[in-house]
Amino acid sequence: MELMNISFSGHIAVVTGGAQRIGQAIARQLAEMGARVIIVDVNMEKAAKTCREIGEERCGFYQVDLVDGDAVVRTMEKIVRENGRVDILINNAGIVNTADFTALTKEDWDRVLAIDLTAVFLTCQTLFRHMEANGGGRIVNVASIAGKVGGGYLGTAAYATAKAGVISLTKSVAKAGASKGIYCNSVCPSLTRTPMTEILTEEKEQIVLSALALHRGAQPSEVANAVLFLASDAASFITGENINCDGGMLMNG
């Protein structure tokens, strides 16, 4: 295959959590590269604002609380009905819980697992069936370095466990889709400059940064670049991979 310029012209892409932070950067770049973007988010005010900024002819949005598994499935099915098809799924939405292990409540555990893992399974499964019938597609999950190292200063037990599940799910989906033209990969960021990471104390942030070879946090657009590569035809021989976007923290760990 010849070298190619990445383009998403004519593609329809679903981005969960696309109203802000990393998801917003992904949605904007997809649209700039030709895709029609469907944002799935619980915050309709921010989703509508993002769509206006992108251009409503290139962006639409649907509201869903990812805690509600039945609603997740209904929303994915509605997106397919109303848009005709989905070529790309980006599972970006997620929450973090920073409670110490001994202070973590079952309620918090259940909520993090529901949003960060179960919703990813449901969106993958629902759109996998559509992609199979439609001749293929691409799925990219935003996991985390926490899923490889078992948590840390931002995402502790529940978050790390959910993201480890996403990493394993990614491999399972890739194996199931290999003969069907469905690719599935994930990106594992480390510290990324979003409001979610502002909860770190200065001391904890410096400890995290000292573990990164680049000694800085990522911008959302830098994580988005990795996601878009995996969502594109340029990654035509990559599936089941969980690529670190971590500033040299693990170096293929």
193 touches 249 (CB < 8 A): no
How confident is the prediction for the chain on average, in pLDDT?
91
Q: Which residue has the tokens 């996998």?
A: 128
pLDDT band at residue 193 under the 50/70/90 scheme: low
The answer on pLDDT for 172 being more than 90 is yes
Tell me the three state secondary structure of residue 245.
strand
178-191: pLDDT as tens digits? 999 999 999 998 87
The rounded distance, in Å, linking the Cα atoms of 210 and 214 is: 9
pLDDT band at residue 153 under the 50/70/90 scheme: low
The rounded distance, in Å, linking the Cα atoms of 208 and 221 is: 20
Residue ranges per structural domain of the chain: 12-190+223-244
Single out the catalytic residue among 62, 153, 159, 183.
159
Number of residues written out for the chain: 253
159 labelled catalytic: yes
The rounded distance, in Å, linking the Cα atoms of 89 and 95 is: 19
CA atoms within 13 A on the CB side of 136: 12
The rounded distance, in Å, linking the Cα atoms of 197 and 233 is: 32
Task: State the fold for domain 12-190+223-244.
Answer: Rossmann fold (3.40.50)
DSSP 16: E
The answer on pLDDT for 99 being more than 60 is yes
37 touches 9 (CB < 8 A): no
The H-or-E segment that residue 244 falls in is: strand 242-245
